[in-house]
Amino acid sequence: MSRNTRVMDVLSLLVGEHDPVAASICQGCYGRNVEVSGYRIEPGANLSGAVLSGAYLSGAYLSGADLTGAVLSGLNLSGADLTGANLSRANLTDANLTLANLSGANLTLANLAGANLPRANLTGANLTLANLTYAKLGGADLRGANLSGANLSGANLCGATMPDGSIHE
């Protein structure tokens, strides 16, 4: 799909909570300031390159979704299920990921500068070369996460469970 795909194309992938979705491809979708909280998207849906800055996806089910290179800056994904999602090279600057489940997610080269991740589940996530400058990770679970080359300058890790299982003070 083109970069100018309209919000309705994104919403065509979404249905009421706990319902299956027939469509699964929305590459390059564009939508700003849409609210789709509590919605579910088909596991493994292709949203690579989607531009959803400022959208409200609190509690959304995006398990296994391909969000490679997606622009998700300022997005509200609090409580969202992103288990095993591919967010490599995604722009998540200033996104709200409070209590989000990102276990096993691929966040290689993702930009999470200023992102809010308190109490997020990042167990087993791949954060290789991710930008986490000034990210708020208080109480986040990073057990088994790969932080190789990640930039944590100015990040708040107070109370976070580190990859080795220790609690950061």
What tens digit of pLDDT does each residue of 64-107 get? 999 999 999 998 999 999 999 999 999 999 999 999 999 999 99
d(CA 104, CA 83): 6
In the block, residue with structure tokens 């959803």: 52
Residue 56 belongs to domain spanning: 1-169
The CATH number of the domain holding residue 88 is 2.160.20.80
Q: Which two tokens stand for residue 166?
A: 């220790």
User: Where are the extended beta strands (E) located within the chain?
Assistant: none
Residue 40 confidence class, pLDDT cut points 50, 70, 90? low
Look up the pTM and report it. 0.80
d(CA 107, CA 97): 13
> How many domains are contained in the chain?
1
